[in-house]
Amino acid sequence: MILLLTLTLSLNPSLGFTDSTLKSQHWAYQPLESAEVPMSSEAVRWAQSPIDLFIYKKLRAKHLQPANEARPEKLLRRVFLDLTGLPPTHDELESFLNDPSPEAYERVVDRLLSSAAFGERWASPWLDLARYADSNGYQRDGHRVIWPFRDWVIDSINRDQGFDDFTSYQLAGDLLPSADEDQLIATGFHRCTTVNLEAGVDREEDRVLQVIDRVNTTGITWLGTTLECAQCHDHKYDPFTQKEYYQLFAFFNNTEIETRAKGGAAREFAGPFFELMPTENESNKLSALRAQLQKNKNALQAQLKKIQSQAEPELQDLFKKLKGKKKVDKATQAAFQIEKKKRKPQHHKKIENFFKSHHPDSKKLIKEQNALEKKIAQALPPKTLVMREMEKKRKTQIFIRGDFLQTGETVEAQVPQALHAFPPETQLDRRGLAEWINSPKNPITPRVVVNRWWKEIFGRGIVTSPEDFGTQASPPSHPQLLDWLANEFLNSGRSRKHLLRLIVTSATYKQSSVFDAESKAQDPENVWLSRGPRYRLPAEILRDNALAISGLISLKQGGPPTKPVQPPDIWRVIGNVDNTYRISSGEDLYRRGIYVVWRRSSPYPSFVNFDAPDRSSCAVSRPRTNTPLQALTLMNDSAFVEMAREFAARILLNDSLQTQEERIHWAFRTAASRRPNAHEFKILNEILNRELTLRKSRIQEANEALQMLRSKDLQALIRPKLTTWFAYCHLASLLLNLDETISKG
Amino acid sequence: MNSIPPSIHPDSRVETDPHSFRQWWCSRRELFNGVSSGLASIALGALLSGETLATSKSKQQFQYPARAKNIIYIHLVGAPSQLDLYVDKPLLKKHHGQLAPKEFIEGKRFAFLRGHPKLLGSPFKFERHGESGMPFSKLLPHLGRHADSIARIETLHTEEFNHAPAQLFHQTGFAQFGRPSLGSWISYGLGTENTDLPAFVVLLTGGTAGAGNSMWGSGFLPTSHQGVRFRSKGDPVLFLSNPKGVKRDDRKRLVEDIGKLNQHRFDRVQDPEIMTRIRQYELAFKMQKALPELMDIGQESPATHQLYGTQPGKEHFANNCLLARRLVESGVRFVQVCDSGWDHHSNLKNGIQNKAKLIDRPIAALLKDLMQRGLLDDTLVVCGAEFGRTPMLQGELKNNAGRDHHKEAFTTWLAGGGVRGGTVFGKTDDMGYYPTENKTHTNDLHATILHLLGVDHEELTYRYQGRDFRLTDVGGRVIDEIIA
């Protein structure tokens, strides 16, 4: 990956167009070509989808041959990881391998596309673009509630919402006629910007930065265009003027400011939010809790009344008894000393308060009340951040050299001239902008979107700079295929599932990922797709995959972010922010990575080590590094160590496995989705035998390792086979660390 | 939907035959075929980061001869007052307590100051040191002895007056998130001399800075170039030590076993990433041994401990200075030492006195120690902050006097590798408010640092989102006046 980037560094002729009409003739802004599918009898013999015909043509032109089809179990694993981010189970493997029908593969694909896990896997790249996180960023980096937006993205992808609605909900849901809950939550997309709540921040400057971020993110996400440069001057290479930048700015310049002054220089988070409708269940639970609280309050009142209605001597006795040696404030003391008849309401209040806080029965009721109130607060439906247009529009002016204090010409909302025309009779607001993006006359968004999906599957885009389709981008490797896919996207109602189905059922996709000599020499970066994709898994999927192999994974969906085990003292940021990382409990420890809390100042450490962005700004592609810190993470991060030890227990306690040979086969297949070959089995068997011998007498260390299993029941089951299990821990670690296990191939 | 050709379902479940594939080794030469020299060759660090097959460490031809190999960058987080440490302003002392001139406040934005503030003269005496006669306040007596090794820029200015954006600006040249930090640019450009250790290491005292990890982030560069935080408690890097029940021998066998099976896989699929993966596991295993030894300052002589004033076992700035020397000695390219707690909005007098006491001796010791070991010629030591402090008073004169953030002029100093000692660069007005001579931008500082490392700041670029980005954006002038 880096090599590629290094290469492109040097292949950068400064074209420097001067004529703007020339610039607007750039391929990416041209209407989609309805390319004919390049048929050839030779190609048809190999092809399983029109995609293959485009690929085949280029392969032949480069004197390359497509690779053989991958072995079915490897293909199954690949498509499972690509569509759901999870590996196939033994049962899924068996049923696929035993299904001889030619439609077996398509059936699997359809099943995966309709599984809930699909949305969880495909939400992640979108959330990178949306710079979704659960905190504000900057110095304070306090927590924010916007996870309903994350859940909305997952749900929308699972429903296969057309990309046009997906777009307009997120850019302008609040401006749609009688916007519903879904449309409002979706506007969280542009509430994901960072906000600086450091004391002394210029609130207007911070707001301007947020609007700039919204313009730039929209440009990258929907137009594949880096607009950023035009903030200060006309774009050097692409046909965008500084004025046009601020015309786009004007679309986003009419929402409320999102910070509030809080006494002097201090700042606090503000801005519109939306309280979610409670579900029937939630609403029943809430009513029940509230009723209980009321009952409790009534009981307390009755009780206090009863105490106070006692005869005076008893009252005084009780006062003395409850007071004991403790000091009571003067006013209360005085209230008790006043003659009963002369007591005024404030004296009665003092007496009541005394018994309320001292009488054991009242104390008990109050304790219950506090607990109930806490439960109610937890059961309240969450509030999520949304966009809200102000009635009165802000004036937008050009910022000279990008400096918001130096304002120039006043501009109105408008779209750049080099791109397709704004639809007539459409409001120049965010909703209009979404309509413009969704216009059938817009060729760039379909190209940008299908290219990103292609990249997610094949590891590189048809255009290698998915964030930039401008004049400086390298031209597409398969321009006709790109346009064919874009047309297919438009004609299918902008369906993600349709496009992905086309891709993963192609012969191109099904190729073996083995680097054969020819492909390695002539196509080292796999530009021409002379083999199938083979890449290390992205951070979240890598963890999900290991959780699934270990058997620990929980597939519970949605809700507030989870906090799986991480080393202590990671969350340390100054400011009045709750820095305590409270580790989740129960199954929340083992839920999918998409649900793990994303704190911008310090994202989940193992994700960071595997190239996850901090989500402070829009990120289109993650780098794919290969570092010693990754090796340390997989071997030593206690989250991964726990998975290995659970996996060892799972192997050893599987009653259907009778012999060591069976156990090795089963374990290897769980991790790699294939049976080990004879050589691999031999190595693994020798390793296990060696470990069984070496660890036979290491009871104390085995016991230490055993403490990591959270379930006491599981510990008890292991104890009779303690040192055997300890040897299997080595095997389990080994399998979870294999390059094959952490890669899709 | 366009017409789909008759779909053909041949007997598609074909086994691939691994033995029919020739072994193919991608040599470094082949990797560079078709690549023009120049820019591409700069990214040595990228090549060494484990993402490619290249392992060669051949010398790169940079535009300038390198004057320094390594950097220790001390960032005093929160921003100390230059007017109480370095810059003596007798007139400011004279006008102490009077209202500030109107031009200091009209049309200006401050983080905290409102209304018409008074002037605050430094409560500290200043002394001149060395042959150069460079002034230091009495808070920095030890550092003063190194005056003739130090080049001081007194007119650095920044565009930001809030901590987090200014810290990002100071370290990445850009006030918002997403750009690579100075250290990661250098890691990307120069790589590391010691493959057992990261090229860019971060040491912290007093908590994380406001901009958090982004101060040593890699932005759009591959994450392998981001600063690796070495921690003073627990594992020096996360996940370094083996879990309970696992011994070093167990780990050794595991790494060997992983290597064996990965090698077997490589023989079949030929993906060069697998070979890199094998090497990274071996490296990780070596790091497990090397790092704790490196971080164990207990091995240093009593004289050294005395020199620095270390407190072994604690989180202490002096320990980090000593560690910085050990890291540089071991070939770490860039050590960022951050010390928080310099944000003296109030109670400046006691506050800065206490903080200065904690850093004066250790920094002086670091310079002396590097010199004695002959390392100072190769090592550039930089000490700065995200901005300075106002000559104006924040709070009340008699009670809790402090200073607000100041972006117009503040001080950063450099020493060691290629620096002309005893130089004071830039002048400010009598109140220390504005530069009057040689106003210096953060881009200029960055350009100079890169220059001293032998890198042309205009040549060190990375293509991202269709643009060639550089640390110095479109600015940057090498400050020849402070170069020996």
pLDDT tens digits for A638-655?
999 999 999 999 999 999
Residue length of chain A: 745
pLDDT attached to residue A319:
86
Centre a 10 Å sphere on the Cβ of residue A260 and count the other Cβ atoms it contains.
13
Question: Using one digit for the tens of pLDDT, what is the confidence trace for A696-742?
Answer: 999 999 999 999 999 999 999 999 999 999 999 999 999 999 999 99
What does DSSP assign to residue A228? Answer: G
Q: Mean pLDDT across chain B, nearest whole number?
A: 85
Contacts of A630 in chain B (CB under 8 A): 280
CATH superfamily of B35-232+314-482: Alkaline Phosphatase, subunit A (3.40.720.10)
Q: Is A335 helix (H, G, I), strand (E, B) or coil?
A: helix
Chain B residue with CA closest to A536: the answer is: B273
What's the pLDDT band for B277 if we cut at 50, 70, 90? very high
CB contact under 8 A, B10 and A45: yes
A542 touching B, CB under 8 A? Answer: no
Contacts of A465 in chain B (CB under 8 A): 465-466
pLDDT higher than threshold 60 for residue A337 = yes
pLDDT higher than threshold 50 for residue A681 = yes
pLDDT attached to residue A23:
54
Name the residue with higher pLDDT: A228 or B53: A228
Question: Using one digit for the tens of pLDDT, what is the confidence trace for A278-288?
Answer: 888 888 999 99
To which residue do tokens 């083999």 refer? A531
Tell me the Ramachandran region of residue A263: left when phi exceeds 0, alpha when psi lies from -120 to 50, beta otherwise: left
Question: Using one digit for the tens of pLDDT, what is the confidence trace for B155-170?
Answer: 999 989 888 889 999 9
- Kindly report the nearest CA distance between residue B161 and chain A, in angstroms: 8
Quote the pTM value: 0.83
DSSP A15-47: -----HHHHHTSGGGSPPP-PPP---HHHHHH-
Q: Are B57 and B192 in contact (CB under 8 A)?
A: no
Question: What residue spans of A252-324 are helical by DSSP H?
Answer: 280-308, 312-323
CB contact under 8 A, A623 and B223: yes
CB contact under 8 A, A628 and B280: yes
Q: Domain extents for chain A?
A: 32-69+443-533, 162-269+392-438, 280-380, 636-744
CB contact under 8 A, B468 and A705: no
Question: Using one digit for the tens of pLDDT, what is the confidence trace for A540-585?
Answer: 999 999 999 999 999 999 999 999 999 988 886 555 667 789 999 9
ipTM of the complex: 0.88
Q: Which residues contact B195 (CB under 8 A, 6 or more apart)?
A: B48, B283
Percent of chain A with pLDDT over 90: 72
Contacts of A609 in chain B (CB under 8 A): 223, 238-239
CB contact under 8 A, B467 and A572: no
- Kindly report the nearest CA distance between residue B307 and chain A, in angstroms: 30
Question: Using one digit for the tens of pLDDT, what is the confidence trace for B442-460?
Answer: 999 999 999 999 999 999 9
Question: Using one digit for the tens of pLDDT, what is the confidence trace for A413-441?
Answer: 999 999 999 999 999 999 999 999 999 99
What's the pLDDT band for B477 if we cut at 50, 70, 90? very high
Q: Are B280 and A630 in contact (CB under 8 A)?
A: yes
- Would you tell me the crossing angle of helices A444-458 and A203-223 to the nearest 10 degrees? 80
pLDDT higher than threshold 50 for residue A7 = no
Q: Mean pLDDT across chain A, nearest whole number?
A: 91
Q: Domain extents for chain B?
A: 35-232+314-482, 235-303
pLDDT attached to residue B61:
41
Chain A residue with CA closest to B5: the answer is: A50
pLDDT higher than threshold 80 for residue B36 = no
Contacts of A226 in chain B (CB under 8 A): 465-467
To which residue do tokens 């007591």 refer? A343
Chain A residue with CA closest to B38: the answer is: A10
- Kindly report the nearest CA distance between residue B73 and chain A, in angstroms: 21
Contacts of B404 in chain A (CB under 8 A): 200
Chain A residue with CA closest to B254: the answer is: A734
What does DSSP assign to residue A590? Answer: G
pLDDT higher than threshold 80 for residue A374 = yes
How far is A112 from A439, CA to CA, in rounded Å?
31
Interface-testing mutation among B161, B214, B238, with chain A (most A C-beta atoms within 10 A): B238
The DSSP H or E segment spanning A273 is strand A273-275
